[in-house]
A and B are shown apart, each in its own frame.
Chain A
Amino acid sequence: MTRTFNRAMWMSLLLSLICLILVCAIPARAQETRVGKLTGHAAAGKQNYQRWCIGCHGPYGDGNGENAQWIEPKPRDFAAAVFKCRSTPTGTLPTDEDLYNSVARGFTNSNMPHWDPLTKQTRIDLVAYIKTFSDRWKTDKPGDILKIPAEPPVTIQSIAHGSELFQKLECWKCHGQQGRGDGPSASTLTDSKDNPIRPYNFAAGTDDSRFKCGNTNQDIYKIFMTGVDGTPMPSFNDVIQPNDAWDLVHYLRTLQINRHSKENEVLRAAGGKIPKTETPATPPASQPAPQPEAKPQGGRK
């Protein structure tokens, strides 16, 4: 009897210990980040945050640092856990790598510089610390990473079809017909905190011009497919098929008129004019249902 009791006691003690380890490990894991072979630690990140980031992003990570009042667009609010540059669907958390790359790259057209001079370890530690400002990192996981198929060759046809999509999807309403960020809605745009924000001006800059979330064709693909959360730029992932998305990328490159690119070369070789196409856009995957239901229901009783 005593023996059985002792065994039961040991078993329950062991179980309690396992539970304790698990409970302690979950928050600890949330404060760690991993990119490749790098592991970031929030405790180490805190010191660097207080040195490099606190001035704009503030002690509570809510974007209310002492410099914030002078800055447009406003510094990111890490407490809201809404992030612009993601490889994950709109409304979901980004991956550690997304945040790590954002720190290194900085944000063009904003006061966020690129932090390449910091060591990789420092950057990954900073990412770990940034994730302590919101409990969402404990309850949610990053969304599924967007799958980007291989880029097809740049042709005048793909550029022409992209141009058609630019019209059809009404990108020009904000970005303007020439992509100069001067569309009819441009002056009214505000971010999620009601601060004025400007649409991207594709025509500005030259070879070193960057997009907010990267510089490669894959990055452009990712930007409009996942959207730029916290800003007016929506996600188009549900409404553009991958091959159409690549055509749009090729066209967007031609709006960067002062940038040397394969797309601009192809356009120049075609006489500088984009031909009109008859190619219909691939219908969205979940077609058909273009007709709305007769009357909205529910919600009112």
Chain B
Amino acid sequence: MRSTKVLITSALLLCPSLMLAGTVSGKITYTGTPAKPKTIDMSKEPNCAKAYTTPPLTESVVTGAGNTLDNVVVYISAGAPDEKSAPSQAVTFEQHNCRYTPHVLAMQIGQELKVVNSDQTSHNIHPLAKLNREWNKSQPPGTPPLSEKFDKEEFIPVKCNVHPWMRGYFAVLKTSHYAISTGDGKFTLPNLPPGKYTLTAWHENYGTNTADVTITGNETKDVDFTFKAKAY
């Protein structure tokens, strides 16, 4: 009898928070004039150069119509409890035609990272971590994916020393609530329980912006971020 009461009480207490889940969505834009993407000369790596009919462009600033900005990581930086465990599904970072796909890869602390070399050339994967361990591994063509994990929150530049144009980022986060703006600068953070949150938007060249948002129930809150572009 007593256990039934406990169950009913728990259900009543838990249900509202399970049922109520808000969403934060928005758009990332910039003001000012961003630096133009530069063309990459891959002539020293014919294996990759032949994959491009027009010269590939750098991805440190990727913009879209209407001054939208891509590759911005938006995440809950305060207000949500730290995740107790990392998801079992790995995230994959691919080296393809001497580029990183995706250019910015987000993951949770302790989540498995798989690094794949799809090219017919050797790469070395060198995350320039400062808080996490800095390692540097060679990955010749045809070798199995590398498996690694990071244990501290950090935005880590990644480079291939053999191909100096290859530069990407790992965003290692404490939270599972994150998104990366793609294509049109838009992002969506679903499944947010009621609460007060701080959102942080991070861009590799333009730094961070923050915004506070309160979720009270089943609702969608619009939060836009604007970065000040640098011309160099």
Interface of A toward B, CB cutoff 8 Å: 80, 82, 89-92, 168-170, 173-174, 184-185, 188-190, 192, 227, 229-236, 238-239, 284, 286-290, 292-293, 296-301
Contacts and interface: CB of A to CB of B under 8 A. Distances in A.
Interface stretch (B27-35, B56-64, B157-165): B157-165
A173 B162 contact: yes
Interface of B: 44, 89-94, 96, 101-102, 104-107, 114, 116-118, 121-122, 124-126, 128, 130, 133-146, 161-164, 178-180, 182, 188
Contact of A232 (B89, B94, B136, B146): B136
A296 B126 contact: no
Nearest to B178: A301
B122 A91 contact: no
B26 to A, nearest CB: 14
Given A238-B143, A287-B144, A299 B102 contact: yes
B92 A298 contact: yes
Contact of A238 (B107, B146, B182): B146
A44 B164 CA distance: 43
A41 to B, nearest CB: 27
Nearest to B144: A289
Nearest to A300: B180
B137 A235 contact: yes
B107 A292 contact: no
Q: Secondary structure at chain A's binding surface: helix, strand, loop or mixed?
A: loop
B129 to A, nearest CB: 8
A92 B136 CA distance: 11
29 contacts: A80-B134, A91-B133, A91-B134, A170-B140, A185-B44, A188-B164, A192-B126, A192-B128, A227-B138, A229-B135, A232-B161, A234-B124, A234-B137, A234-B161, A235-B135, A239-B139, A287-B144, A288-B144, A289-B144, A290-B141, A292-B118, A293-B114, A296-B116, A297-B92, A298-B107, A299-B106, A300-B102, A301-B179, A301-B180
A77 B92 CA distance: 32
Contacts of B102: 296, 299-300
Contacts of A298: 89-92, 105, 107
A212 to B, nearest CB: 15
A230 B107 contact: no
Contacts of B137: 90, 227, 234-235, 238
Contact of A184 (B44, B118, B130): B44
A293 B92 contact: yes
B135 A90 contact: yes
Contact of B143 (A80, A91, A229, A284): A284
B94 A289 contact: no
A173 B14 CA distance: 60
B136 A290 contact: no
Contact of B136 (A185, A229, A287, A288): A229
A238 B164 CA distance: 23
A169 B140 CA distance: 6
A284 B142 CA distance: 10
A82 B130 CA distance: 9
Contact of A299 (B107, B163, B188): B107
Contact of B91 (A92, A188, A189, A299): A299
A229 B188 CA distance: 38
A297 B101 CA distance: 10
Most-contacted residue by chain B among A189, A190, A238, A299 (CB, 10 A): A299
B136 A235 contact: yes
Contacts of A227: 135-138
B205 to A, nearest CB: 15
Contacts of A170: 121-122, 140, 162
